[in-house]
Structure 1
């Protein structure tokens, strides 16, 4: 629901641009389509900057306070701010750049509560052995939300671009109430419900480990590397998220409703990748190596899609492949990897850091996304859409470089463990051989004594 609300603006951008540049009630709000496009880029950038700042804060608070209440509050505030942004301003013809920016900033802060709190809740319920599969299936929720938001918007858009905002915000607000009353954030939340309120707080404190802290969390091995990698990867993924429907409409000249429906194939690829890669990673020695190989394949998929023909079927297939190799690693890092890091063996259950780790990695990623939303419309204006796709490929290369140290370190660790196992096996074989020799000599001595002979030793 959070992602569906966020996706609505990206889906209705062509209609908003048309409304802003041809306002029938007075002078146009925007002078030209170029000005409207750049202002939308500023809105996306302001959203991602405040979203990134909010992630760092929300992640830390999520390890200190009740996750269920925080999540419900963030959902309700996001619904209200987007409702005012999309529905009220158009219904009452209030066109104001500062008001739009303010409302979208509030939405950014509100939505930042979602992901780190949700990952922390999921991490409380599921252990490491099945984490890849469970988190892989669950992390597809973002892509599912994108599809829901796109389909609702594309079907209701003919009545006016404000009505998709109304429908989706109503769903999000209603679900925030359900979360507040029905979502247990951890096993000890259920245990505490059977006790009096005074006993509940004491039990929660006993079961819940103390928070690690924001700055100490950065020192967990792998956090910095995956944070930088996620920044580059989110630059690309959010570029598709915010600009794909507009590219299909403006660059390939598809009708707006058809472009919206076509863009959902990118999210379908991300859903398939989340489930397949998550399940596969549980059976592999390293999730990082799987992500690395998928990133290498993403170069080819992005290059091929940048030269895709104007065919609906071909675009759907190529978007599916691109979503698989770009959205898949993104979902794995933001769910399974952060859960592994936040529940690291080095913490040994003595500190809670999962929400903080999620906030740090996703927050750093959102900083990269904010830069991307500022750069993409400008690159497109000066150099065209092909340059945008080459920029995407460059960022995927940076992602691969950032996770390479983690991959190398993991392989060295596995080699050391294998060497120790081989040495232990050789030592056990040697000890077994010595034991067999001692038994043989002992048997020979016993026989000689039985025949009255003196033992001889070699």
Structure 2
């Protein structure tokens, strides 16, 4: 029938388009964001050492002092470890808020400047700030909490350049065909960065926490230099067709048609849009070099279908996801009495579940050509997995299995929204042919999510202090429920579209 177009299998289209440039872009963006996350994990892993440095050491006041009193006490900016730990938590909150604000700005900047420059600058300058924060201050014996706050605000702003740029570059290179699977694998970069950062910190921590910051900052700075000289931000830079321009008409439709649609589309509109798009593509081939599309505005990006709803949903979901990242080891230590090292090792299984969940759910969404229904099913099961994990027995094997299942249903959707869905939102029908919407939309979605994560850390701390851990899990379940509520209109819309497509296929025979 005229209104029905056959879609080539996603995996076949993906493999036919893949070149060594695609592989290089995948690896460079993957490891660039992994290095940014590694520096954050390094800070988390050396908090005990920093807290000890910032508080007085117990010593016998009657014994002769081996050092001048000024030198002995110059690093003791807090009277006890409790206040030092609270300040370290404050630095986490400061970082998340500045990171969230920076995401809104970085998305706009990334769409207006060369994203390779923005990403490289963010990596290198953030490495310098981390080096000054952890290494230079210790070498110079300069300890000042206001200076630390200033550096961490700057670090949050600089690190925010990473995610919008890498998602936008990936969106430029990988079209809708197979995007869920590719982005599901690629979004493991944060978890890999956490593991890599823990390895770097633990390997040199015996020499002093300042060397952990030194090594991490050096590796990140080197990564920024490699990105500057090696990253190609779009296929057109190497003479390849842009996403949505390759292949014949049906292939182009499969690649460039967004997974975010409108339920009032009909067959006639589809045919009309398809013809117009084909004409636009044929004309743009000769004039692409002469006329570059303008970057979309911030408020225009907010008005794109699905952006606000997915941003609000991600704020609730990232709150839960990041709370597991920050609080899971402490929960295992408090609730089961396990050693801190054992709790840290066991908490890795949450990331493992998230990696597997993002990959499998992305693959399923590619097959369905719809994202929201897959998210809805996963999030409903996430509530059940949260309640099940909260009642885990004092057994490490059972706890690890339940933790991985929880990560599967929470971390998987989180990875999908922050990567594949953000790319879908930035390449919708009204911005087709303009990659300059990708970074802005990604910044809006992830920035809103980071605000939710920042607020959530304070709420979790308050609930845990006033009530108990079970109440924290009830709070997580409420946030997951709100996530489903925000995307309910999109779920209903995409289910209607699935039914309409199935009915058309039956009529077509």
TM-score (normalizing by structure 1): 0.84
Secondary structure in structure 2 of the residue aligned to 1:95: coil
Highest CA radius of gyration, 1 or 2? 1
Where does residue 28 of structure 2 map in the other structure? none
Matched, 1:285 2:359: no
Ranges in structure 1 where 5+ consecutive residues have no aligned partner: 193-201, 430-458
Where does residue 38 of structure 2 map in the other structure? 4
Where does residue 238 of structure 1 map in the other structure? 322
Where does residue 322 of structure 1 map in the other structure? 406
| Aligned positions of 1:48-447 closer than 5 A | 48-191=96-239, 206=290, 208-350=292-434, 352-417=436-501
Secondary structure in structure 2 of the residue aligned to 1:221: coil
CA RMSD of aligned residues (A): 2.5
Between the aligned partners of 2:140 and 2:222, the Cα distance in structure 1 is 24
Secondary structure in structure 1 of the residue aligned to 2:389: helix
Deviations 1:168-188 (A, max 9, x none): 221111100000011111112
The more displaced of 152-161 and 208-217 is: 152-161
Between the aligned partners of 1:307 and 1:28, the Cα distance in structure 2 is 41
Where does residue 93 of structure 2 map in the other structure? 45
Change (3 A) 1:300 1:86: farther
By how many angstroms is 1:384 displaced?
Answer: 3.4
Between the aligned partners of 1:190 and 1:256, the Cα distance in structure 2 is 50
Q: Contact 1:68–1:184 at 8 Å: present in 2 too?
A: yes
TM-score (normalizing by structure 2): 0.76
The more displaced of 267-276 and 67-76 is: 267-276
Secondary structure in structure 2 of the residue aligned to 1:392: helix
Between the aligned partners of 2:396 and 2:357, the Cα distance in structure 1 is 22
Q: Contact 1:235–1:372 at 8 Å: present in 2 too?
A: yes
Q: Contact 2:180–2:366 at 8 Å: present in 1 too?
A: yes
Between the aligned partners of 1:151 and 1:253, the Cα distance in structure 2 is 24
Change (3 A) 1:163 1:394: farther
Q: Contact 1:230–1:399 at 8 Å: present in 2 too?
A: yes
Change (3 A) 1:236 1:136: same
Where does residue 280 of structure 2 map in the other structure? none
Q: Contact 2:426–2:435 at 8 Å: present in 1 too?
A: no
Where does residue 456 of structure 1 map in the other structure? none
Between the aligned partners of 2:57 and 2:137, the Cα distance in structure 1 is 13
Q: Contact 1:48–1:367 at 8 Å: present in 2 too?
A: yes
Between the aligned partners of 2:210 and 2:329, the Cα distance in structure 1 is 17
By how many angstroms is 1:363 displaced?
Answer: 0.5
Between the aligned partners of 2:177 and 2:287, the Cα distance in structure 1 is 27
Where does residue 9 of structure 2 map in the other structure? none
Change (3 A) 1:61 1:88: same
Q: Contact 1:144–1:271 at 8 Å: present in 2 too?
A: no
By how many angstroms is 1:23 displaced?
Answer: 4.4
Question: What is the count of residue pairs matched by the alignment?
Answer: 416
Change (3 A) 1:348 1:185: closer
Change (3 A) 1:305 1:163: farther
By how many angstroms is 1:20 displaced?
Answer: 3.2
The more displaced of 108-117 and 393-402 is: 393-402
Where does residue 20 of structure 1 map in the other structure? 54
By how many angstroms is 1:240 displaced?
Answer: 1.8
Between the aligned partners of 1:203 and 1:172, the Cα distance in structure 2 is 39
